[in-house]
Structure 1
C-alpha cells in the first residue's frame, strides 16, 4: 500500500497507541476529582498540554482542548459573535475548510453578515483585500494557515497585523500546517489558533483552540473544565495521545519538511515529464506545504485517476466535495478562478513522514501508464509551471 492522503488523516504513531492504552488502563479517574487518583490523571493532561503548546510556540495556559479542529473553529467563530458589543459581521477567506465555511454561512440566516475574502490565482488573501474589508467593523477575521487541498500558505502574519490595527480578533486554522512547518503562535500575532491531533499522527477526536493569554473568550460548551473555557469531562486518553504526537512532531521538523519538499518536487517533476502541458499544479507559484501537490490532468477525470492509482495500491483523494446533488467542483479551486471543468478533475497527493523515494518512483510508474492512454479532450494551452516552493510560517 502507498498512502498519499496524509492531509485527510495520518496513521497514529505506535507510541501514541501505546500511551493511550496505558492511559485508559491506569489513568481512568476523573481529572476534576480532588482526590489523589483524580489528580494523578490531571498530571497526564498537564504534560500533554505543555507538549501541544510547545509545538506551536504557545503557553500551556493558552491551550484549550477540544474534540478536534472543527470544534475549535466553531468555538472561535461563535465566541467572537457572543463577546459583549461584538458587531454582527465576520470575515473568512473564501478558501477555508468546507465544513467551517458551511457553518459560517448558516449564520446569515440569523442576520450575521458573513463576508468571504477573495483570493488571488494561487489562493492567497492579500493584505490589501483585508484592509479594504475592515473599513466596516467585524467581530472576527479567520484565515487558515495552509490550505488543505492545495497546500498554499497564507500571509497570516501580515494579515494579523492589519486585524490587530483595527481591533479585530484574528483566528488562524493551523490544522494542516502544524507538524509540517514551524508554527509560532506568539510571533504570528494571532489571537486564536485551531489544531487537530489526527493530522500529525495523533488520535481522531482530539484537538485544541489556542486562545491568547489575557483574551476573554466565551465558551462554546458551558462547564467548569478547561478553566471554564470548554465544558465536559475531558477525553484524557485523546489528549495524552495528542501530547505524544505533538512531541514527536517537533523532533527534526525542519529536516522532515525538507525531505518531504524534495519528494514532492520529485513527484511533480516526474508528472511534468509524463504529461507535459496536460499537467496543471494548482498554486504552484506560491509557497506551499512541503508535502502537498494538487493537480489536474487534461483529459482525465479525478475519478479515473484515482481508480487507476487504487488498482495499483496507491491511495489519494479528489479535490471535489460531495453534496446531496452529486459531485461539485472544489470551492477552493473555483475561488482561485480555476474553470469548473478543470476543478472537477483535481487530485490531491499528500505525502507523509513514511513516504519513501521508492514509493514516489512507483507512483510515477503508475502515472506513466496512465499518460500512455489517449486523452479524452485536447490538452490545455501551455502552463507556466515554475519550480514549486515551500515556506515556513513565522
Structure 2
C-alpha cells in the first residue's frame, strides 16, 4: 500500500482537480482508487464520497438527510449502542428541533426488530444502525432493519466502520442507502474514509453538503482531495477484497486464521474464574471479543500489560472517565462495565501473541484479585 502512495508523497504533489498533466495523473489515481473501493462495497463509483474518515461521513449523512428531508418529517431512529459519532450528531439535531428515538438492545447486544417496528412512524426520515459494534463485535441484522425502514418510507444508514474490509458487503444485497467507513480499519492510512450515498432508484438519496467551497465530490465535500490517502485506501480496499475472496499460501483464508486465534485467546481467558463474554457469541465479528473480569479494574489491567495493546472501550472515547455506554445498555452495572477488556486480532497477530497475552493477563488478574 505504501508503495502505491509514495509517488504522491514524493514526486507528484498535484491537485487532482487541476487540468495540467500532473493533475490529470493524480485524478487518474483517484479514479482508480474510487473503483477499488466501489468493488469492495458493490456500489457505483459515483456513489462514493471520500472524506477524512467515518466521523465526517456520519456527520454528512445524518445532517445531510435531516436538512434535505425535513419537509417529510423530523424523526430519526438509532440505537443506544451506536458509536459516539452517531449519538452526538443526533443530540446536536435534537437541539435543532428534531426528534430522535434511541432504541435499547437485548442483553446480547442485538436489536429486537419488534422494538424497531413499534418505534417507526410516518414522519421517520432515517434509521441508523451500525453493522458491527465497535466494542463487542456484535453484528446487527441490517438487511431486515433496512426492509423495515424502507416499508415506512425512511432511508437506512449504517456505520460499517468495523465491518468494511473484514466482512463481504454488498450495498444492494443489504438494501443500504448510506454507509460510512474509515480506511485505517482495514489497514489503509489514517485520515481518509468515505460515505456511500445511493444514487439509484428507488431509494436515491439527496444530501445537503456540510462543506462548501469548490464543489468537489459532486458538490458534497468541497476541498482539495487527499490524493495519497485516497490512493492508499483504494489499494487497501483491493487487498481486502482479494483476501476475503482468496487464500493465503497455507491454503487457509485469513478470516479463518484470525478467528481461530480469537477463539484460542477467548477459550484460554475464560478458564479464569469470574470471566464471561459480553455480547452474542454467535452473531459477532470473527476477530473481536469483549470479556468481563470480575474484581479487576480494566484500567489497572491495561497498565499491568507491558507491550500488549487492548482497550476498555472505544478508542474514540479513551479520555472519558465514564463507563462504556454500550455495556451499560446491555445491562451491565457500572462496576462490571469498568471491569471489561476489548480484544481485537488482525493480520499481523500470531499464536505466540495469543499465548503471551493469556499469560500476561492471568498474571495481572491474579495480582489485582490478591489486593481485594
Task: Provide TM-score, normalisation by structure 2.
Answer: 0.91
Q: Please show how residues 192-341 of structure 1 align to structure 2 within 5 Å.
A: 192-214=178-200, 215=204, 216-222=206-212, 223-253=214-244, 255-273=253-271, 275-276=272-273, 278-309=274-305, 311=306, 313-319=307-313, 327-341=321-335
The answer to whether the 8 A contact 1:320-1:343 is kept is: no
1:36 matched residue in structure 2? 21
- Cα distance in 1 for residues equivalent to 2:157 and 2:96: 22
- Cα distance in 2 for residues equivalent to 1:268 and 1:338: 20
The answer to whether the 8 A contact 2:63-2:89 is kept is: no
- Cα distance in 1 for residues equivalent to 2:360 and 2:190: 31
1:102 matched residue in structure 2? 88
Cα distance, 1:229 vs structure 2: 2.0
- Cα distance in 2 for residues equivalent to 1:154 and 1:270: 27
- Cα distance in 1 for residues equivalent to 2:134 and 2:29: 31
Q: Please show how residues 83-162 of structure 1 align to structure 2 within 5 Å.
A: 83-84=68-69, 85-162=71-148
- Cα distance in 1 for residues equivalent to 2:319 and 2:45: 44
- Cα distance in 2 for residues equivalent to 1:353 and 1:167: 41
1:355 to 325, 349, 352: 349
Q: How many residues align?
A: 359
2:361 pairs with 1:367? yes
1:176 to 157, 162, 173: 162
- 1:35-63 Cα distance to aligned partner (Å, 9 max, x none): 33322211000000011111121121211
- Cα distance in 1 for residues equivalent to 2:174 and 2:160: 11
Cα distance, 1:224 vs structure 2: 1.4
In structure 2, the CA distance between the partners of 1:251 and 1:323, relative to structure 1 (3 Å rule), is: closer
The answer to whether the 8 A contact 2:110-2:280 is kept is: no
Where in structure 2 are there 5+ consecutive unaligned residues? 246-252
Cα distance, 1:111 vs structure 2: 1.5
Q: Which has the higher contact order (CA 8 A, sep 6+)?
A: 1
- Cα distance in 1 for residues equivalent to 2:182 and 2:283: 22
1:8 matched residue in structure 2? none
In structure 2, the CA distance between the partners of 1:21 and 1:323, relative to structure 1 (3 Å rule), is: closer
